[in-house]
Amino acid sequence: MAGKELKTILATDCGSTTTKAILIELTDQGYRLKTRGEAPTTVEAPFEDVTKGVLNAIMEVEELSGLKILDGDQIIHPMKDKNTGVDVYVSTSSAGGGLQMMVAGVVKAMTGESAERAALGAGSIVMDVLASNDGRLPHQKIERIRQLRPDMILLSGGINGGTVSHVVELAEVLAAANPKPRLGQNYKLPVIYAGNDKAQKNIEDTLGEITDLDIIENIRPVLEIENLGPARDKIHDLFMEHVMAQAPGYKKLMSWTDAPIMPTPGAVGSLIEMVAKKENISVVGVDIGGATTDIFSVFEGQFNRTVSANLGMSYSVCNVLAEATLENVLRWVPINIDEGELTNRIGNKMIRPTTVPQSMEELIIEQAIAREALRLSFIQHKSFAVKLKGVQQERTISDAFDQSDSGETLVNMMDLDLLVGSGGVLSHAPRREQAMRMMIDAFVPEGITQLAVDSIFMMPQLGVMANIENSDMAESARTAAVEVFENDCLIRLGTCLAPIGKTKPGQTLLTAEFDLPETGKQVVELKYGEIIVIPAPYTAIKAKLIPGKNMNIGKGKGEVLNTDIFGGTVGLIFDGRGRPFELSHEKSTRIENLRKWSKATNEYPDTKALGGA
Amino acid sequence: MAHAYTPGLKVLHEAKVDKDRILPLKGDVLVEKDAHVDPDDIVARTHLPGNVQMLNVANTLNIDPTDVKDVMLKQPGDKLKKGDMMAETKGLFGFFKSSVIAPIDCTLEAISPVTGQVVLRDAPIPVEIDAYMSGTVAEVIPEEGVVIEADAVFIQGIFGIGGESRGELAILTDTREDELTADMIKAEHAGKVLVGGSFLSLAAYKKALAMKVAGVVVGGFNYFDLEEILGYTLGVAITGSEDLVTSLVLTEGYGEIRMGSRTFDLLKRHAGKFTSINGATQIRAGVIRPEIVIPLAHEDLKGDAHVAKVNEGIQAGSLVRVIRAPYFGRIGTVVSLPAPLHKMESETMVRVAEIKIDDDVMTIPRANLEMVETD
C-alpha cells in the first residue's frame, strides 16, 4: 500500500441538529467500525461553538472504546501509542445553515440549470436562479439579490465564443444590486464567473472592484457538454475560506482536521456515486437531516444531487407541514389525534430541534412527517435530474409519434436498482421495518428495487474519508471508507417487488415462485391492496415472477421474469398497493389499511392501543 | 462526574447585558465611549444604497451599445430629476432627434458600452440604530456601531415575533398558570409590556394589537394561530422583521404551558419598571432567542451579577425543564445520568437522565431536557 497505513481514524459529522463521531480501526478482517458517539450540535447558545458538540461526541467514543483520544480540548493525533490518540481526524459539516447560493445563467433552462447543478453538486442550497429570460424585470432581480443576501453567487452564461452582451447584462444587474454577504461586513461577496470566455474581460470590468471575483472555466463551453468540476471545486474552496470560517467555532475545528472539512451533502454524494460506479447500477440515495433533505441519483451513469432546503426533520419540520399540508401528514398516521395539538407539537419540535420521540405516538407522527419530507424532496429531485437541455437530438421518423422534449427526467423508477437511506429518522428508526416502509411509501419504487439503510448515520464521515487528497493517507483512508461502508454501514433491508399497471380490487397482481435457502420452495400470490413480507437473507434467490393481467414487474405487461432477488434484514416485501399508489380518502378505511400494512410489515406494535378510529 | 451538554435558557435576576448595535453597512457612530444612553437615543446612522432601475438606452434609441456614450448628456455621478433629458441622438441634419428622459429622481451610476444599459440609482435610504436599552456605551466599533452595557434582569424566551419594543412592565395575571385573556387588556395598557401566565389566545393577541400594547410575554401560544398574524405559515423559526405593533415573547413554547415559576416571579418583582423586549428569533447557527431586558437602577443592584462561566452541562442536582411530550413543560432536578442506552416507549435507544419531578423519578431522554440557568 502506497502512503502510510492508518490504524485508527476518527471522523465527525456536524449536522444541523446532531454531531456524530465514529472511530474506525484496522483489524485482522480489515477496517471496521469500532464505536460511535453522538451529541447535540452546539452552534446554538449557550455554547455557540461547534467544537463543544464535537468534543462531547468524541468523549462518548472515548468512554465506549477505552481509547484516550482527548487531552483537554485537544484531539490527540497522530497516535502516541496503541491506547492513546488516533492516526487521522476528519470532519464534514452541514451545521451553520450550510452554504446558501444564488446562481445566474443566460437561459434559465440551459446555463441557469447547469449553474444550479454545479452549485448543488458542491453541496450548497440554491436560493434562486437568475436568468435573462426568467420573466423578471431588472429591478425585480436586483431587489431579490439585495433581499436574499447569499453567501456566494455563481454567474454563468453563453457558450465559449458566443454572444457577450447577455451575460454582461446579468453582471450589470449584480453590480447594480451591489450585494452584501450574509455574514460579516468586512469582506466582499464572492462571485464566481464560469461563462463565455470571450466575456471575461467585460465581467472583470463590471464586477472586479465591487465583488471578490474569481474567473474559472465555462461550465457549458459547448451546448452538448457540461463542465461542472472547476465550478464545484471553486465553490468548495470559497466556502471553506469565507462562509464556514464565519460560523461559530469552525476556525478552531478547521485547525484540528487532517483534511479540509467537506460539506455533508458533498461527502454523501461522492459515496453514492462510488456505489453506483462500482456495481454499475442505478442508485438513489437520500440523506434526511434536520434542516435539509439531500437526494442523490445515478441513472444512465449521470450523477445528480439536489438539496431541498427547509425540508428537514427539526429546524424546518414546520415547513414540511406547510408544504405538504396537515392533511397529507395525517394520512400516514394510523391513530386518532387532535389536529391543533398535533401542530403545536410539531411547532415545538421546530423551536427545540434536538429533542427525540419518547412515546410511540410521537414516533409515529415523526415518521409520518418524514414520509412527506422524503416525498416532496424526491419530486424536486425528479424535476431537476434531467437530460441536458438545448442539445439538438437526431430523430428518426419512428420517433415522431413518441417525442419527448430534451430535458426529460432521468429518474425512471422501473430502472432503479438500489435505494439507500441515511439520516437520523431512517438510520435511528427503532425497527428497520420502519425505515423500509418510510422509503417505500415516500419513493414508491416500481418493479424490483433493493433497499438499504445507513446503519448508524455515518455516510457523511465515510464520504469525507473517501475523498482525502493527502497522498500520505489517501489510499488507506479510501480503503477504510469502502470496507466500513460495505461491512458496517450499509444494512441491506431487502427488496421491494411492486408490479405496475391498471387493476381492480381482489385481482392478482403477481405470482412469485422462489427457493429460499432455509425454507425451500415458496409461492406468493399477491392481491391488490395487500403487502406481504417474506423473511429472506441477503443472498441471490432465484425467482420466477409471473405478473397478473396487464401488470408489469419489469419485463413488460404480462411478461414473466426469471431473475435473482435479494432479501435482507427485513426480507422480501411484495407491495400490492398499486402503482400509482393512493391512500383512501375515507378516514376509517385509511386507518384500517395503515394498520393492516403496519401489522404485515411488523412496523409498529399494536397501534389500536394508542387510539382507535 | 457524568454530565451532558444541554441547551438552556437564561433567567437571571442580575446580569451584565451587552447589546451589539451594529449598522448593516458602514456609516457613522454618533455616541462616545462611556456615554450614558436611553433606549430611544440614536447611536449610529448610515445610508443604504438606493434602489436601482436599469434602462437600455441603446434599445430605446435604436443605436449600437458602443455608441451610447456619445449620445449621453449626463455622465456617471450626475444627479437627475424625473423628466430630465439624459441622452439624445444627433438626428438627421439636426432634425428627427430621439431622446431618453430620466424616469425617476436619481443618480446616474454607470453606462455600459457592452449592453447599452444605464444604471440609475434612487436616493440613499437612511438607516438609524437606537440604543434599545438604557445603559453605557462600553465599546465603539468605528463606522459600524457600538456595544451598550447595562446591569439588568435578563430573561430569554424560546420563541417570539415582532422586533424590538419597549415600555412599562405590567403583570396582568395573578399566577403563572392563568391565561391572559382579551378582557384583561385595556386601553390603559397602550405602550406597555404585558405579562401573562400560561397562554394567550389569538383573540387576546388581536386585542393587544388593537390597544397598541408594546409587547406581551406569556408561556404559550398556538402555533396554528401564527398564520393569521403573519399572513403565512411559519416554516422555519426565523422571525423579527414582522411589522407588528405588539411584539410577542413565548417563554415556554406552543400550546397552553404555564410560565416557569422563576421567570414569572422575577417579572412580577419588577412590575412597573421600564423594559426592553425583542421578539426576534433565529433557531439556526448564531442562534437568537427572544429576550426581556429590565435595566436596573444603581440602588437595585445587589452586586452579585451573574458572570458567564464555562458551562459544564447538566449533572446530578441540575435544574432542568422537560421540553417534549409526554412531560412537556415540567421542571425537575437531575438525580442521575446513567451511561448505558435506555429503551423508551417509542423503542428508541437513547441516553437518558433520571429526573425527580415533584415526588416521582422519571426517565427522560437527555435530548428532551433543557437546562434552567438561574442565578
pLDDT for position A182: 64
Residue with the three cell numbers 432581480? A141
Q: Is A370 on the interface with B (CB under 8 A)?
A: no
- pLDDT tier, A46 (very low <50, low <70, confident <90, very high otherwise): low
pLDDT tens-digit map of A153-178: 999 998 999 889 999 999 999 999 88
Taking the C-alpha atoms of residue A289 and residue A294, their distance in angstroms, rounded to an integer, is 8
| Cis ω before A580 (30° cut-off from 0) | yes
Contact call for A138 and B53, based on CB within 8 A: yes
Contact call for B348 and A343, based on CB within 8 A: no
For testing contact with chain A, the best of B23, B112, B282, B310 (most A CBs within 10 A): B112
Contact call for B325 and A362, based on CB within 8 A: yes
Residues of chain B positioned with their CB less than 8 A from the CB of A356? 324, 344, 348, 350, 365, 367-368
pLDDT at A403 over 60: no
pLDDT for position B321: 87
Distance from CA of A467 to the nearest CA of B (A): 26
Q: Is A206 on the interface with B (CB under 8 A)?
A: yes
Q: What is the pTM of this model?
A: 0.87
Contact call for A321 and B281, based on CB within 8 A: no
pLDDT at A512 over 80: yes
Q: Provide the 3-class DSSP secondary structure of residue A166.
A: helix
pLDDT tens-digit map of A98-119: 678 899 999 888 889 899 988 8
Residues of chain B positioned with their CB less than 8 A from the CB of A362? 324-325, 346
Q: Is A362 on the interface with B (CB under 8 A)?
A: yes
Taking the C-alpha atoms of residue A595 and residue A589, their distance in angstroms, rounded to an integer, is 10
- pLDDT tier, A285 (very low <50, low <70, confident <90, very high otherwise): very high
Q: Of A259-273, A564-578, B183-197, where does mean pLDDT reach its minimum?
A: A259-273
- pLDDT tier, A402 (very low <50, low <70, confident <90, very high otherwise): very low
Residue with the three cell numbers 425543564? B321
Q: Of A13-27, A386-400, A543-557, B102-116, where does mean pLDDT reach its minimum?
A: A386-400
Q: In chain A, pLDDT over 90 holds for what percent of residues?
A: 58
End-to-end CA distance of chain B: 22
Contact call for B324 and A349, based on CB within 8 A: yes
pLDDT for position B305: 62
The answer to whether A151 and A101 are in contact (CB under 8 A) is yes
Q: Is the dihedral of CA B161, B166, B172, B175 positive or negative?
A: positive
State which residue of chain A sits closest to B250, comparing Cα positions: A351
Contact call for A348 and B255, based on CB within 8 A: yes
Q: Are strands A88-93 and A262-263 parallel, antiparallel or unpaired?
A: parallel
State mean pLDDT over A183-192: 77
pLDDT for position B93: 74
Q: What is the full per-residue pLDDT of chain B (375 aa) written as tens digits?
A: 445 555 567 889 999 999 999 888 889 999 999 999 999 999 999 988 888 888 999 999 999 999 999 999 999 999 999 999 999 988 777 777 889 999 999 999 999 999 999 999 999 889 999 999 999 999 999 999 999 999 999 999 999 999 999 999 999 999 999 999 999 999 999 999 999 999 999 999 999 999 999 999 999 999 999 999 999 989 988 898 899 999 999 999 999 999 988 899 999 999 999 999 999 998 765 578 899 999 998 888 877 665 544 455 788 998 888 999 888 888 899 999 998 889 999 999 998 999 999 889 999 999 899 887 666
Q: How many CB pairs under 8 A join A and B?
A: 207
pLDDT at A180 over 80: no
State which residue of chain B sits closest to A51, comparing Cα positions: B5
Taking the C-alpha atoms of residue A176 and residue A101, their distance in angstroms, rounded to an integer, is 18
Nearest by CB: A169 against B49, B117, B373: B117
The answer to whether A190 and A153 are in contact (CB under 8 A) is yes
Nearest by CB: B7 against A96, A340, A354: A354
Nearest by CB: A348 against B156, B254, B347: B254
Q: Is A428 on the interface with B (CB under 8 A)?
A: yes
Q: Is A46 on the interface with B (CB under 8 A)?
A: yes
Taking the C-alpha atoms of residue B226 and residue B183, their distance in angstroms, rounded to an integer, is 21
Taking the C-alpha atoms of residue A78 and residue A8, their distance in angstroms, rounded to an integer, is 9
pLDDT for position B288: 82
Q: Which of A111, A101, A116 is nearest to A306 (CA)?
A: A116
Taking the C-alpha atoms of residue B199 and residue B176, their distance in angstroms, rounded to an integer, is 9
Taking the C-alpha atoms of residue A208 and residue A245, their distance in angstroms, rounded to an integer, is 23
Q: Of A192-206, A296-310, A358-372, where does mean pLDDT reach its minimum?
A: A296-310
The answer to whether A24 and A33 are in contact (CB under 8 A) is yes
State mean pLDDT over A423-443: 97
Scan residues 282-321 of A and list those with Cβ closer than 8 Å to B.
Answer: 291, 310, 315-316, 318-319, 321
pLDDT tens-digit map of A293-321: 999 999 999 888 888 878 999 989 999 99
Count each helix (H run) and each strand (E run) in chain A, helices first: 17, 24
Nearest by CB: B368 against A172, A351, A358: A358
Residues of chain A positioned with their CB less than 8 A from the CB of B49? 178
Scan residues 146-205 of A and list those with Cβ closer than 8 Å to B.
Answer: 164-165, 168-169, 172-173, 175-178, 180, 185, 202
Q: Of A92-96, A133-137, B56-60, where does mean pLDDT reach its minimum?
A: A92-96
Contact call for A206 and B112, based on CB within 8 A: yes
Contact call for B223 and A318, based on CB within 8 A: yes
Which one of A174-188, A323-337, B215-229 scores highest in mean pLDDT? B215-229
pLDDT for position A400: 45
The answer to whether A466 and A483 are in contact (CB under 8 A) is no
pLDDT for position B182: 97
Distance from CA of B94 to the nearest CA of A (A): 31
Q: Which of B170, B172, B174 is nearest to B193 (CA)?
A: B170
Residues of chain B positioned with their CB less than 8 A from the CB of A355? 323-324, 365, 367-368
- Grid cell locating B344: 423508551
Nearest by CB: B326 against A48, A356, A358: A358
Q: Which of A304, A328, A305 is nearest to A376 (CA)?
A: A328
Q: Which residues contact B7 (CB under 8 A, 6 or more apart)?
A: A40, A44, A45, A46, A352, A354, B370, B371
| Cis ω before A78 (30° cut-off from 0) | yes
Contact call for B284 and A431, based on CB within 8 A: no
State which residue of chain A sits closest to B56, comparing Cα positions: A169
Contact call for B283 and A353, based on CB within 8 A: yes
Residues of chain B positioned with their CB less than 8 A from the CB of A185? 22, 25-26, 144
Question: In terms of C-beta distances under 8 Å and separation of at least 24 residues, what long-range contacts does A136-139 make, across chains too?
Answer: A138/A173, A138/A176, A138/B52, A138/B53, A138/B54, A139/B51, A139/B52, A139/B53, A139/B54
pLDDT at A464 over 60: yes
Rounded to 5 degrees, φ, ψ at B234 are -75, 110
Nearest by CB: B365 against A323, A356, A361: A356
Taking the C-alpha atoms of residue A585 and residue A359, their distance in angstroms, rounded to an integer, is 27
State which residue of chain B sits closest to A99, comparing Cα positions: B285
Contact call for B286 and A95, based on CB within 8 A: no
Distance from CA of A85 to the nearest CA of B (A): 22
Q: Is A379 on the interface with B (CB under 8 A)?
A: no
pLDDT for position B4: 55
pLDDT for position A291: 85
State which residue of chain A sits closest to B372, comparing Cα positions: A46
What is the DSSP-derived secondary structure letter of residue A409? B
